[in-house]
Amino acid sequence: MLPSKMKTIELREFGQADVLEVGIRDLPELRSTEVLIRVVAAGVNGPDLVQRRGHYPPPKGASDLLGLEVSGDVAAVGSDVSNWTVGDHLCALTNGGGYAEYVAVDATHCLPVPAHVSDIDAAGLCETYFTVWSNLFFEQTITANDLLLVHGGAGGIGSTAIQLGNQLGMRIYTTCANADDCDYVKDLGAERSINFNKEDFVDVVRKDGGANLILDIIGGDYIARNIKAASVDARIVQLAFNAGSKVEINLMPIMLKRLMYTGSTLRSRPESFKSAVARDLLKIVWPMFEQKKLFAQTHKVFPFEQASEAHSMMEAAKHRGKILLSPI
pLDDT tens, 75-105?
A: 999 999 999 999 999 999 999 999 999 999 9
In sequence order, what DSSP letters do the residues of 169-221 get, joined into one string?
T-EEEEEESSHHHHHHHHHHT-SEEEETTTS-HHHHHHHTT-EEEEEES--TT
Average pLDDT over residues 182-189: 96
Give the pLDDT mean for 223-242.
Answer: 95
3-state secondary structure of 71: strand
What local confidence, expressed as pLDDT, does residue 253 receive? 94
Over residues 40-60, mean pLDDT: 95
Q: What is the pLDDT of residues 113-169, one digit of tens each?
A: 999 999 999 999 999 999 999 999 999 988 999 999 999 999 999 999 999 999 999
High-pLDDT (> 70) share of the chain, %: 100
Mean pLDDT confidence for 17-35: 97
Q: How far apart are CA 325 and CA 168, in angstroms?
A: 31
Write down the pLDDT at residue 242: 87
Can you list the domains of the chain with their CATH numbers?
A: 5-125+267-326 (3.90.180.10), 130-263 (3.40.50.720)
Q: Is 293 exposed, middle or buried (0-12, 13-18, 19+ CB in 10 A)?
A: middle
pLDDT of residue 206: 97
Query: Is it the case that residue 318 has pLDDT exceeding 90?
Result: no
Whether 1 has a pLDDT exceeding 90, the answer reads no
Give the pTM. 0.94
